[in-house]
């Protein structure tokens, strides 16, 4: 179901929103098979390469310094590629749900949504790192016993802040400007509702994945899937499905709660 993103959707019930999320995720996979297959192949290859680098790291003492440095830069490049593919898939699902757009163009608006998406994600990650570093003096003062409370505090604050600004990402995907203040205002009072909708939407997939790993693969395969090629391929399929479902969730939450962002988008479109 692809409607005009400017349509009012605040009347969506909890159950209807979850149903729309699953319906949109299935439609996105079915109607953009080339994109999904390509992303799956990229993710699987990257995970296998990461596994090979990790195995080499176990024998790091036997490797030359130049080789270790080369592996480090290669891993960094692969991580960057993984994040780019993740961003492309997420943006395309957002645009599919909100605009009805399919695979083409792969990089809409000359890549501006992807650039803004990446810039916002990096800024948020750096803010999280800065918050963690700010707690270091306190941890040193109170000792190791304070590490766990500090980690829990950072995790809770990160989760809360991530939910508060999460409506910004679908907005960026469809060409919106970086306006975290408006996203923050739109999500006010809806943190628990947004969290529960997202949780319930992805829960069936998580349960199926865990059951599959435990029954078919075994606990060892769940802990260390990269050492088994078929398991790695299946693992990346689950990961891709999770990405699509999460993106569909954010798109529908955007439709339900992003009143200010929708008004901003309408204002920009009228100019």
pLDDT (tens digit per residue) in 147-166: 777 778 888 888 898 899 99
Taking 70 as the threshold, does the pLDDT of residue 116 lie above it? Answer: yes
Residue 178 to residues 105, 152, 169, 184, 261: CA-CA distances in angstroms? 22, 29, 9, 12, 10
Mean pLDDT, all residues of the chain = 81
- Which pLDDT value is given to residue 7? 45
Taking 80 as the threshold, does the pLDDT of residue 83 lie above it? Answer: yes
DSSP letters, 163-229, are HHHTTHHHHHHTT----HHHHHHHTTT-HHHHHHHHHHHHHHHHHHHHHHIIIII-HHHHH-GGGSH
% of the chain with per-residue pLDDT over 70: 76
Which letter, b or e, does each residue of 91-126 get, where b requires 16 or more Cβ atoms within 10 Å of its Cβ?
bbbbbbbbbebeeeeeebeeeebbebbbebbeebee
pTM for the model stands at 0.83
DSSP H helical ranges for the chain: 14-31, 33-58, 65-99, 112-134, 136-142, 147-165, 168-173, 180-186, 191-212, 219-223, 229-257, 259-270
Bond prior to 243 in cis (omega within 30° of 0): no
Q: Looking at 143-157, 165-179, 243-257, which range is the least confident one?
A: 143-157
Q: What is the mean pLDDT of residues 128-143?
A: 70
Taking 50 as the threshold, does the pLDDT of residue 69 lie above it? Answer: yes
pLDDT in tens, 221-237: 555 555 567 778 888 89
- Which pLDDT value is given to residue 40? 94
% of the chain with per-residue pLDDT over 90: 36
Residue 249's Cβ-side half-sphere holds a number of Cα atoms within 13 Å equal to 22
Question: Residue 60 — pLDDT band, cuts 50, 70, 90?
Answer: low
Q: Is 35:89 a contact under the CB 8 Å cutoff?
A: yes
């Amino acid at each position: 179901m692809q409607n005009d993103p400017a349509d009012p959707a605040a009347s969506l019930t909890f159950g209807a929103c979850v149903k729309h999320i699953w319906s949109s995720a299935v439609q996105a996979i079915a109607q953009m098979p080339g994109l999904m297959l390509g992303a799956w192949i990229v993710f699987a290859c990257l995970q296998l390469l990461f596994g090979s680098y990790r195995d080499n790291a176990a024998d790091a003492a036997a490797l030359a310094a130049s080789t270790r440095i080369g592996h480090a830069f290669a891993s960094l490049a692969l991580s960057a590629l993984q994040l780019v593919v993740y961003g492309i898939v997420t943006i395309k699902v957002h645009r599919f749900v909100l605009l009805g757009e399919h695979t083409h163009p792969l990089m809409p608006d000359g890549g501006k949504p992807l650039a803004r998406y990446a810039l916002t994600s990096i800024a948020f990650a750096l803010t999280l790192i800065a918050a963690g570093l700010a707690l270091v003096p306190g941890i040193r003062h109170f000792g190791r016993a304070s590490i766990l409370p500090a980690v829990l505090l950072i995790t809770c604050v990160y989760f809360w802040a991530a939910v508060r600004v999460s409506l910004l990402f679908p907005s960026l995907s469809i060409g919106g400007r970086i306006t975290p203040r408006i996203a923050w205002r739109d999500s006010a009072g809806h943190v628990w509702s947004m969290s529960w909708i997202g949780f319930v939407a992805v829960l069936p997939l998580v349960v199926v994945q865990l059951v599959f790993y435990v029954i078919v693969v075994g606990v060892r395969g769940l802990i260390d899937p990269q050492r088994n090629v078929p398991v790695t391929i299946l693992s990346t399929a689950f990961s891709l499905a999770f990405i699509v479902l999460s993106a569909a969730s954010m798109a529908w939450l955007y439709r339900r709660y992003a009143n200010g962002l929708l008004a901003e988008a309408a204002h920009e479109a009228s100019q």
